Structure 1
Amino acid sequence: MHKKIMIIICIFIIMTCSLGNNKIRNKEEKIYKNIYIENINMTSLTKKQCIDVLKEAYPLEDINLKYNSNVWTIHPDDIEFRYKVEEATDKALKYTRTEKIIENFKRKSKLIVNEKHHIKLEADYNSKKLNTIIDCISKQVDKEFVNATLAIENDGSFKKLPSKEGRKLQKEELKKEIDEMIKNKNIVDLNLPVKNTIPTLKTEDVDSVNAILGQFSTAFNNDTSRGSNIHVAGESSSDIILMPNETYSYNKATGPRVLSKGYKYAPVIVGGKYMNGEGGGVCQVSTTIYNAALLAGLEIVEVHNHTYLSHYVSGGRDATVAYGYYDLKFKNPYSHPIYIKNVVGKGSITSKIYGCKDDGQRIYVRTEHEYKKEKIIIKTYRVYLDENNQKIKEELISTSKYDKK
């Protein structure tokens, strides 16, 4: 116990003498022993000497960013990049020169017995300027992907163009890499983190569309306003690619059936009565598409029947539409895209559902009729057959209720 007290007293005497001698002999302050900045021992160095040592050990270097044969160089001044050497030096000098004498004594005591004190050299840069540079690089690197294209002509011929992958600089990832590199004081060349962007419609998707899965035709009087509307609606609801699990909406495809879109006044059923309205006749187009979708094995999501039986299709197989109220919707259940094609001729419209021949199925549609006093009730079934035309399964698609005229 007496020995420990004696050691402390001796240390105190030595420190007091040392402080007095330092004040007499050294006008310039020096860093106390066993004080380190990072892993460099700064014992007895002046402020200028310490700064010089740090600048030599941690020089400011250019940041080179590489991608393929291109190189972008970020100079330290471009982003106000610096190491806080003066701040770290001041911390080292002031560590044993606080305003509290007892705290200074405690710290010096530990340093005298070889307990090291480490100070971190921090780095700083202007993140906004770095973001601006990265945005500029991104504009030079990024490239939009190109979707494959598919067009099927009225004669059934195919026109296809391949897809092309795009690329996109991963800006956040790059910022993080640069930030960590600067903070770790290890400046090296970086390869830009660039990822390929995949087209939503790829070449193989388009190539898989190679057969008709289902088609249906209806007839109409071409030389009427109604016939004109069928032409307009047939074209606007055609040439649509439906990806796997995607849902087709007839109303979305055509949009509002108004005069400004080329539609004319023609007979429509409103409240159970025939009257002239914009777009009369568009239901024949939706009905034709609906029957093609039935035969193609597509999943029927929404369908509605007319008030009365239609003259252009048998009962239970019509699909009335009214923009904002009734729609025809069906989903693509296959793992390949399908292509909806309407061919409108003089007096007939044919809807064809193209897809992958591997998705083709043997399907027919049957209906059951029930006649009541004021209503005709028709149930519509879709029947699936095997290669030997034996029934595999049957599903109820809809139950339609018609008023008797």
Structure 2
Amino acid sequence: MNKKIRITISAAIAVIVIAAGGFSIYMVKRDKIAPNTIINGVDVGGLTKDEAKSKIKIFTEDTFNLEYNEKSYSIELKDIDFKYNLDKTVQDAYDVNRKEGTLKNMVSMLGSRFGHKENIYIATEYNQKKADNEIEEKTKEINKEKEDARFETSDGKTTLKKDVDGISVNIEKTRQNMENSLSKNKFESEVAVDTETAEITTSDLKGIDSVLGTSMTTFRMSDENRSHNIRVATEASSKVILKPGQEYSFNGVVGKRSAENGYKNAPVIMEGEMEQDLGGGVCQVSSTLYNAVLKSGLEIVNVKNHSIPSSYVGMGRDATVTDSGIDFVFKNPYKHNIYIQNYVSGDTIVCQVFGNSSDEQNVEITTSVIGVNAAQTKEVEKKDLEEGKKEVDKSPRNGYTVVTYRIFKDKNGKQIKKEKISTSYYPKRDGLVYVGTKPKEEEKPETKPEEKPSTGDENQATLDNETDKTTV
């Protein structure tokens, strides 16, 4: 292409651009809307604001429908103070190619002349807070809590319940969807939801098909704080998968017994005495789990008994835990995963160990008291206590030494192995009784005042008084 032709083409393009730009500027100067400006599908380019307003057709409805899974949830538009703002809509169209700087406006004008379309949506007004409240109320049935995969046992049969994803309505996104539809003069849109995957899925429990061990203990529901702590700890200790060779630390899984973690003051054992402290009742959960673990044949890594025999399990069958370091730890010795599932039903703690049926064990737990340390009761004189009376300060409690064994048997009940699990020592507590030495006070005989013989003057005095009262 020779130089003369190139110059001619460049000049022609320049003329076209200048002409187009000049025309666009001309339109702007004449208070016309820029070419190729579209409002809700209607071309209003080259029109004045009034002409554009009369050309736009807006349909109105009383309700707006939110759609989810082929179900519709209706919102009354008057309840959210909704209305269309046609004046603002036309003004937005009129501002095209006018609101930016001179150079940007010129570029936009040229774009309009060469076919670039500017889509303007209808301006809407509504009360955002009311809209959010309506969305939340009308769509609340969509919300669904996530459910972990879990085992259910009935009549000796174990069933795996599949996990369920949680669903929650995203109110902000749903409102934005609604606003976008209304700006296009449409009266329906999709409900936006967020999903939350279950922590324990069905695939996580693959290969687990049998109950290896179960233990249950009961508690007094009348002690509200202790019952609350039991529920918190039971839930925290549950839903744990242990791979082969992996250890379970009760303190590591449950965490610190603090107010921040939801625990309340309840009776705890401190140095052989009952005191009030955060987390009272948690040891019943660890002890219940301990017995389920024993029955499952799992390896006991660390266990320690209380300083006082427990009421909810026998001696040698309890497992104390403390924030300061005493922990209950066990290990999965099998070639398959195991699953710990604990829950509270009414006044009962249920702890279950699930695993592969090939790892089922025939286990018997036995305990033997190998020592008894008889408690004594000491009597101490008390000067401010009346002679002959006694005050019990501490009741005596015998001490015991108990050995716990686990016996493994074959399917015919023949012993295969016997292992010593622990030696539990429960120290004695001597009693203390105060004996009164304060002498009794002698009772003085009651004396009655002497009665004087009547002279009749008393009656006369009464009559005189009554006469005085009537004459007043």
Shift of 1:351: 0.4
Q: Residue in 2 aligned with 1:382?
A: 406
Shift of 1:397: 0.3
Q: Is the Cα–Cα contact under 8 Å of residues 205 and 337 in structure 1 kept in the other structure?
A: no
Q: Is the Cα–Cα contact under 8 Å of residues 152 and 239 in structure 1 kept in the other structure?
A: no
Shift of 1:202: 11
5 Å-filtered alignment, 1:108-127, equals: none
Task: Assess, with a 3 A threshold, how the Cα gap between structure 1 residues 154 and 394 changes in structure 2: closer, same or farther.
Answer: closer
Q: Residue in 2 aligned with 1:144?
A: none
1:101-143 per-residue CA deviation (whole Å, 9 max, x = no partner) reads: xxxxxxxxxxxxxxxxxxxxxxxxxxxxxxxxxxxxxxxxxxx
Q: Is the Cα–Cα contact under 8 Å of residues 300 and 397 in structure 1 kept in the other structure?
A: yes
Shift of 1:373: 2.4
Counterparts of 2:212 and 2:321, CA distance in 1: 24
1:355 aligns with 2:379: no
Shift of 1:259: 1.3
Q: Is the Cα–Cα contact under 8 Å of residues 154 and 343 in structure 1 kept in the other structure?
A: no
Counterparts of 1:373 and 1:292, CA distance in 2: 30
Q: Residue in 2 aligned with 1:35?
A: none
3-state secondary structure, aligned to 1:319: coil
Task: Assess, with a 3 A threshold, how the Cα gap between structure 1 residues 237 and 204 changes in structure 2: closer, same or farther.
Answer: closer
Counterparts of 1:263 and 1:247, CA distance in 2: 25
5 Å-filtered alignment, 1:2-401, equals: 150-152=149-151, 157-160=159-162, 206-224=205-223, 225-373=225-373, 375-401=399-425
Q: Which runs of 5+ in 1 are unaligned?
A: 1-148, 162-200
TM-score after normalising by structure 1: 0.51
The one-letter code of the counterpart of 2:299 is E
Counterparts of 2:401 and 2:153, CA distance in 1: 37
Counterparts of 2:245 and 2:428, CA distance in 1: 38
TM-score after normalising by structure 2: 0.44
The one-letter code of the counterpart of 2:357 is K
1:247-300 per-residue CA deviation (whole Å, 9 max, x = no partner) reads: 001001110011121111000011221110000000000000000000000000
Task: Assess, with a 3 A threshold, how the Cα gap between structure 1 residues 326 and 246 changes in structure 2: closer, same or farther.
Answer: same
Counterparts of 1:202 and 1:243, CA distance in 2: 15
Aligned residues, how many? 219
The one-letter code of the counterpart of 2:303 is V
Shift of 1:329: 0.3
Counterparts of 1:245 and 1:204, CA distance in 2: 20
Shift of 1:343: 1.9
The one-letter code of the counterpart of 1:395 is E
Counterparts of 1:229 and 1:215, CA distance in 2: 21
Q: Which runs of 4+ in 1 moved over 3 A?
A: 149-157, 201-205
When Rg is computed on C-alpha atoms for both structures, the one with the higher figure is: 2
3-state secondary structure, aligned to 2:304: coil
The one-letter code of the counterpart of 1:384 is F
The one-letter code of the counterpart of 1:353 is V
The one-letter code of the counterpart of 1:208 is G
Shift of 1:153: 5.7
3-state secondary structure, aligned to 2:424: strand
1:292-311 per-residue CA deviation (whole Å, 9 max, x = no partner) reads: 00000000000000001100
Counterparts of 2:367 and 2:308, CA distance in 1: 16
Counterparts of 1:403 and 1:308, CA distance in 2: 8
Q: Is the Cα–Cα contact under 8 Å of residues 160 and 206 in structure 1 kept in the other structure?
A: no
Q: Work out the percentage of aligned pairs sharing the same amino acid.
A: 43
Q: Residue in 2 aligned with 1:403?
A: 427
Shift of 1:403: 1.8
Counterparts of 2:203 and 2:232, CA distance in 1: 32
Counterparts of 1:218 and 1:203, CA distance in 2: 29
Q: Is the Cα–Cα contact under 8 Å of residues 149 and 202 in structure 2 kept in the other structure?
A: no
Shift of 1:332: 0.2
Counterparts of 1:204 and 1:386, CA distance in 2: 32
Q: Which has the higher contact order (CA 8 A, sep 6+)?
A: 1
Counterparts of 2:239 and 2:368, CA distance in 1: 33
The one-letter code of the counterpart of 1:214 is G
C-alpha RMSD over aligned residues = 2.2
Q: Which runs of 5+ in 2 are unaligned?
A: 1-147, 164-199, 375-398, 430-472
Q: Is the Cα–Cα contact under 8 Å of residues 289 and 351 in structure 1 kept in the other structure?
A: yes
Q: Is the Cα–Cα contact under 8 Å of residues 216 and 292 in structure 1 kept in the other structure?
A: yes
Task: Assess, with a 3 A threshold, how the Cα gap between structure 1 residues 212 and 274 changes in structure 2: closer, same or farther.
Answer: same
The one-letter code of the counterpart of 1:257 is R
